[in-house]
């Protein structure tokens, strides 16, 4: 067994010798996480070079290994689920998408902007997953928070002034910031035990899951915007969300910059 830990996480590795079918058909349980906000990433590397990866959390603290090694389709399906979970629990990424949603007032332009963001983060997700591009994770997370602050600042701009490049060409800025957010997705994929042996199904599945979660979030925003439209006429309503987004961004930025000093020498 090998173990390591820091202030935010702990890692333990076991090598097991099992009789018969080994872990196949067995159930793994992690006691003590029900009722908590802890996530336990479980990755099992089999002798045939394939791997099982799942995330255990409160309410789902056990996992049963399949009797047969997972096929590439099963691996891709599992990573789709993990991608959906990552984006829907990734508050910083969702906040950035919310900022884009508030920034763009035209339906076709919104589709173009979200598509550009998708293309941007898909590119760097693939490059980083194959170790062709890398940034330290604390730096990446701090820059993601800064990108959210930039969008919030743009939302607070005076509409009467000449439009900035962000307002005139939001898809261009979304694509640029998407490159940055893709590095954040890649860090999450790496934490899930990404390996070259299952690289293609893992990458495609995870990216598809992220997109499905993102589409679901934008669809929910459209519904909420329609329901709350009468409230937009209230004094100060137009500034409430931009200030909330900016405040969150600076809290995240401050917290993540402080991690620079906790990096190993």
170-182 pLDDT tens trace: 899 999 999 998 8
Indicate whether 11 and 53 sit together in one domain. yes
200-217 pLDDT tens trace: 777 888 888 888 998 999
The pair of structure tokens assigned to 96 is: 């950035």
Indicate whether 57 and 158 sit together in one domain. no
Indicate whether 66 and 86 sit together in one domain. no
Indicate whether 113 and 137 sit together in one domain. yes
Indicate whether 186 and 87 sit together in one domain. yes
Choosing from 46, 70, 94, the residue where a domain stops is 70
Choosing from 70, 95, 130, the residue where a domain stops is 70
Indicate whether 66 and 85 sit together in one domain. no
Indicate whether 31 and 93 sit together in one domain. no
Tell me which of 60-64, 65-69, 74-78, 254-258 is least confident.
65-69
Indicate whether 109 and 216 sit together in one domain. yes
Indicate whether 126 and 27 sit together in one domain. no
110-145 pLDDT tens trace: 889 988 998 998 899 888 888 888 888 888 999 999
In a domain, 75, yes or no: no
CA 10 to chain centre: 20
- How many other C-beta atoms are found inside a 10 Å radius of the C-beta of residue 236? 7
Indicate whether 65 and 105 sit together in one domain. no
Indicate whether 46 and 137 sit together in one domain. no
Indicate whether 43 and 157 sit together in one domain. no
DSSP codes of every residue in 23-55: TTT-EEE-TT-TTS---EEEEEE-TTS-EEEEE
Q: Which domain holds residue 166?
A: 81-262
Counted domains in the chain: 2
Q: Give which of 113, 122, 123 is closest to 174, Cα–Cα.
A: 113
Question: pLDDT value at position 21?
Answer: 60
Q: Give the Cα separation of 167 and 70 in Å (integer).
A: 46
Q: Give the Cα separation of 56 and 201 in Å (integer).
A: 21
Mean pLDDT throughout 37-56?
69
């Amino acid at each position: 067994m090998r173990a390591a830990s820091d202030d935010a996480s702990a890692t333990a590795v076991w090598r097991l010798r099992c009789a018969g079918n080994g872990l196949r058909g067995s159930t793994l349980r992690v006691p003590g996480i029900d009722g908590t906000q802890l996530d336990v990433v479980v990755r099992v590397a089999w002798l045939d070079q394939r791997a099982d990866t799942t995330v255990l959390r409160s309410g789902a603290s056990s996992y049963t290994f399949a009797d047969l090694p997972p096929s590439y389709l099963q691996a891709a399906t599992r990573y789709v689920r993990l991608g959906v979970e990552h984006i829907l629990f990734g508050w910083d990424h969702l906040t950035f998408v919310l900022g884009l949603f508030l920034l763009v007032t035209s339906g076709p332009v919104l589709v173009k902007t979200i598509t550009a963001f998708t293309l941007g983060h898909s590119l760097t997700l693939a490059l980083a997953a194959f170790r062709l591009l890398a940034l330290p994770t604390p730096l990446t997370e701090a820059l993601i928070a800064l990108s959210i602050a930039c969008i919030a600042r743009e939302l607070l701009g005076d509409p009467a002034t000449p439009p900035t490049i962000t307002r005139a060409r939001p898809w261009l800025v979304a694509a640029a910031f998407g490159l940055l957010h893709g590095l954040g997705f890649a860090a999450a994929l790496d934490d899930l035990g990404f390996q070259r042996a299952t690289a293609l199904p893992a990458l495609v599945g995870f990216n598809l899951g992220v997109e499905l979660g993102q589409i679901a979030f934008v669809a929910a925003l459209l519904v909420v915007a329609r329901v709350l439209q009468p409230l937009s006429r209230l004094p100060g309503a137009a500034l409430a969300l931009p200030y909330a987004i900016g405040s969150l961004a600076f809290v995240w930025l401050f917290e993540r910059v402080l991690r620079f000093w906790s990096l190993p020498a």
